[in-house]
Amino acid sequence: MEIDTLNVKSHAVPVDQLRRRCDPKGLGFTTTDELEPSTSMVGQTRALEAIKFGTNIGDPGFNLFVLGPTGTGKSYAVRNLLEPKAAGEEAPCDWVYVNNFDKPYQPVAIPLPRMRAQRLSKAMIRVIDELRSGIPGIFEAEEYQRRRRAIDEQFRAAQEDALEDLNKKAEAEDIAVLRTPTGFAMAPAPEGKVLKPEAFHELPKDERTEIEKKIESLQGELQAVLQQMPRLAKDARDAVRELNEEHAEVAVRQALTEVQEEFADIERVQQYLKAAEQDLIRNIGLFVAEGGEQQQQQLVSQSVDSSRDVRFRRYMVNILVGADSDEATGAPIIDEDNPTLGNLIGRIEHIPQMGALITDFLLIKAGALHRANGGYLLMDARKMLLAPYAWEALKRALKSQEINIESPTEQLGMISTVTLQPERIPLNIKIVLFGDPTLYYLLSSQDPDFPQLFKVAADFDDTMDRTSASSESYAQLVASIVQGHELRPVDAKGVARLVDEGARLAHDSEKLTLRIEALSDILREANYWAGEAKHKVIGEADVTRAIEERIRRSDRLREKTQESIERGIVLVSTEGMSVGQINGLSVMALGSFAYGRPNRITARVRTGSGRVVDIEREVALGGPLHSKGVMILRGFLEGRYVDEVPMALSASLVFEQSYGGVDGDSASSAELYALMSALAEAPIKQSLAVTGSVNQHGQVQAIGGVNEKIEGFYDICKERGLTGEQGVVIPKSNAVHLMLRPDVVEAVKKGTFTIYAVETIDQGIEILTGIPAGERQDDGKFPEGSINRLVEDRLMGFAISRRDFGAPGGNQGVPQEEIL
């Protein structure tokens, strides 16, 4: 039967369906200068409503996860909605950490009204400066010195009185109390003259004994007097300390009065100032320089920065979060690009000192949660999950609604050093995470806390319907990109070309891509080429060149692949006919660039046990989806042919000269065509290539990358010379996805290349072989000479051969289970 009698041409895709073009005249403008730039995201109504809901609801747990493909403008959309909302909200308070004078390892967190943190910090520095300059003068004043001398004299007088009483008693006993470099000594002194040792030993024994008893008694009293000296010294020190505190109290209270009055409305600050006052009074000696009045005056005149003096660190204020000016109003919007544990919840830094690590409350640093507290925190979910301990820390903070600064090294016991336990800060925040859909669904299924903490999903689409209204919206989007990047205006033809490319990027003639980043890149490159061509307006030619140059920069490997085919290194036929051999089509993705590659697929058949061997799977090069497609082929054969006898087929399928992994089922229809050709011994046209998956009922199903696959085979045919017989067979359901290159469309228009769209395997095999497929008749058989009849007869022959081979005397060496 001639191929024309099969009505093959009815399956050819009309030229006007190969590439849907936007009419520049229907856009209604000359250049984008005439358009009002789009101020909202185009085609993302559902996602924008979710973001609006998530940011407006104040209940805990309603944080947002913004999911969608990269480049769809998720961050822009969120900020575009958040900025006006945050600007109208109340600005959060400042937070400071101050020293806990009772428990220094537990710094105190104090909230302050906006702008008050800086004022408190500067006020405490002024207090220290004032005390440093004023305290030395107080202790040099005549009144202080007089009272200090009185205390010293009182102490010395008490000592002298005690010793004087002892001296008098000793004199009455003719005993002298002598001062020596090592202390006190006693000696007999009759008539007031101290006896020398020689003279003492010459005295009668009874007299010596009497004198020794007197000295022993007096030494006991001397010991009692000496034991009173430390107590007298302590009393003197207590008196001096009371005197110092009395004078210091006046100075300290006077220095703190202004601060106390300024912050009289904040109870926590008043408590801190009271504790600081008591500590300053107790440690007033810090302000008294050694070396006398001259050195004091010299130190005061040097104006040393008190905030950097280690002696006074305990009185400084650590501004954790504080506004520098009134210019920034409203709730904060913080975008944390590196959400590590320390950057998220803050950290406690340490300083090496004499071989040890030390820290204090001034080394507490704020994290993103502190800076965004009272506002919004935006983070990339993938970066968050890759940072050790960060994800768990975020969940703990959201659950407890508190920020607890902690170090994982402390929890794991990896270091032993001085550390702190800062007071926790209440958390009131809205978290916005960005990620791809796979990550969102993975977290939803694997982390039980995730659905409780991120209840709102803002799902960004990557395409929108292509209508006249959406094309106008697309034009406004182009105008906003032009305005945002300060590009040349784009004329109507240039915008129409961008609309066409938007459909091409969406892989669907009835859709437009919403990957704003890709459109922006094309526009900026077109602007460059317009500048090179001295164009004042970006036109269709500039946009086309930008698209072509982007492809050219990435298609080196595509050229090498085509070169290997053209030189005959990789075997791909584009003319003639062959049994069990067909051109399949695959897509190779290299970053953002994808191209189609023809592959020769071959099939061999013989009598066997009903097994269809996928060679790719046998050598572990076939992925699960490809293996699934091959298994479907067996289901198709068993369901359509010789259902009354066992399947006695042994077949092998392979992608020739394929040295990498193969996955996907888009070649399953091509494999089935090759298998049917081998069974029917009907040659297939090598001028045609095939793509499409198939189900067990023989229906051809849609696949991805149809444009790249067609163009890949077209390029090979064009290089070898178009004959008018070449073309590609695709699933009919893929016809809506066609957005082919203009040169391919032109070739089809001239009749030198053809695109066929089929719904069933029968339609495809007729196109490929020129033989009718045939339908089962009332007698249960396919028409004589049809492909299906030839296949069924061959399978029946295999079954008979196997039966005969398994007859008595003919089954030696054959396993019993392999014999019918």
Kindly report, residue by residue over 182-223, the tens digit of the pLDDT. 666 777 777 667 767 766 676 777 777 777 777 777 667 666
The answer to which of 163-167, 258-262, 759-763 has the lowest mean pLDDT is 163-167
Task: Give the model's pLDDT for residue 182.
Answer: 63
Task: Give the model's pLDDT for residue 812.
Answer: 41
DSSP code per residue over 725-767: S-EEEEEGGGGGG-B--HHHHHHHHHTSSEEEEESBHHHHHHH
Question: How confident is the model over 743-772, as a mean pLDDT?
Answer: 93
Beta strands 577-578; 430-435: pairing state: unpaired
Task: Give the model's pLDDT for residue 422.
Answer: 93
Task: Identify the CATH number of the domain defined by range 22-39+463-554.
Answer: 1.10.8.60
The band of 74, judged by pLDDT with boundaries at 50, 70 and 90, is confident
Nearest to 428 by CA among 342, 389, 370, 365: 370
Task: Give the model's pLDDT for residue 159.
Answer: 64
Question: How confident is the model over 296-310, as a mean pLDDT?
Answer: 59
Residue 226, pLDDT > 50, answer yes
Question: How confident is the model over 374-390, as a mean pLDDT?
Answer: 94
CB atoms within 10 A of CB 322: 21
The pLDDT tens digits for 260-301 are 999 999 999 999 999 999 999 888 888 875 434 444 444 444
Q: What percent of the chain is modeled with pLDDT above 70?
A: 84
The band of 651, judged by pLDDT with boundaries at 50, 70 and 90, is confident
226 against 490, higher pLDDT? 490
Question: How confident is the model over 165-172, as a mean pLDDT?
Answer: 68
Task: Give the model's pLDDT for residue 44.
Answer: 85
Distance of CA 799 to the CA centre of its chain: 61
Nearest to 456 by CA among 129, 762, 769, 52: 52
546 against 807, higher pLDDT? 546
Task: Give the model's pLDDT for residue 183.
Answer: 66
The band of 622, judged by pLDDT with boundaries at 50, 70 and 90, is low
Question: How confident is the model over 520-536, as a mean pLDDT?
Answer: 93
According to the per-residue pLDDT averaged within each range, which of 167-176, 357-366, 613-622, 809-818 is highest? 357-366
Residue 633, pLDDT > 50, answer yes
Task: Give the model's pLDDT for residue 295.
Answer: 44
Domain ranges of the chain: 22-39+463-554, 52-91+329-459, 95-323, 560-805
Q: What percent of the chain is modeled with pLDDT above 90?
A: 43
The answer to which of 3-7, 449-453, 537-541 has the lowest mean pLDDT is 3-7
The answer to which of 37-41, 342-346, 752-756 has the lowest mean pLDDT is 37-41
76 against 339, higher pLDDT? 339
Residue-wise over 118-143: b if at least 16 C-beta within 10 A, else e? bbbbebbbebbbbbbeebbebbeeee
Mean predicted lDDT score pLDDT of the chain: 84
Task: Give the model's pLDDT for residue 433.
Answer: 96
According to the per-residue pLDDT averaged within each range, which of 35-49, 58-72, 584-598, 660-674 is highest? 58-72
Could you tell me the sign of the dihedral formed by the alpha carbons of 295, 298, 300, 302, in that order? Answer: negative
Q: Going by C-beta distance under 8 Å and a sequence separation of 6 or more, which residues neighbour residue 312?
A: 128, 286, 306
Residue 353, pLDDT > 80, answer no
What torsion do the CA atoms of 419, 421, 427, 430 make, to the nearest 10 degrees? Answer: 20
Instruction: Name the fold adopted by 560-805.
Output: Ribosomal Protein S5; domain 2 (3.30.230)
- Give me the residue label for tokens 């040097």: 302
Ramachandran angles phi, psi of 793, nearest 5°? -65, -40
Task: Give the model's pLDDT for residue 187.
Answer: 72
Task: Give the model's pLDDT for residue 398.
Answer: 95
The pLDDT tens digits for 498-514 are 999 999 998 889 999 98
Task: Give the model's pLDDT for residue 438.
Answer: 93
Task: Give the model's pLDDT for residue 614.
Answer: 63
Terminal Cα-to-Cα distance of the chain (whole angstroms): 37
Question: How confident is the model over 653-680, as a mean pLDDT?
Answer: 81
Task: Give the model's pLDDT for residue 666.
Answer: 78
Question: How confident is the model over 560-575, as a mean pLDDT?
Answer: 87
- Give me the residue label for tokens 């090069």: 621
Number of residues that this document lists for the chain: 820
- Give CA–CA dist 153/147, Å, rounded: 10
Question: How confident is the model over 30-42, as a mean pLDDT?
Answer: 84
The band of 354, judged by pLDDT with boundaries at 50, 70 and 90, is confident
**What is the architecture, at CATH level 2, of domain 52-91+329-459?**
3-Layer(aba) Sandwich (3.40)
- Give CA–CA dist 739/745, Å, rounded: 9
Residue 816, pLDDT > 50, answer no
Report if pTM > 0.75: yes
Question: How confident is the model over 673-695, as a mean pLDDT?
Answer: 92
Task: Give the model's pLDDT for residue 304.
Answer: 59
Task: Give the model's pLDDT for residue 817.
Answer: 38
642 against 342, higher pLDDT? 342
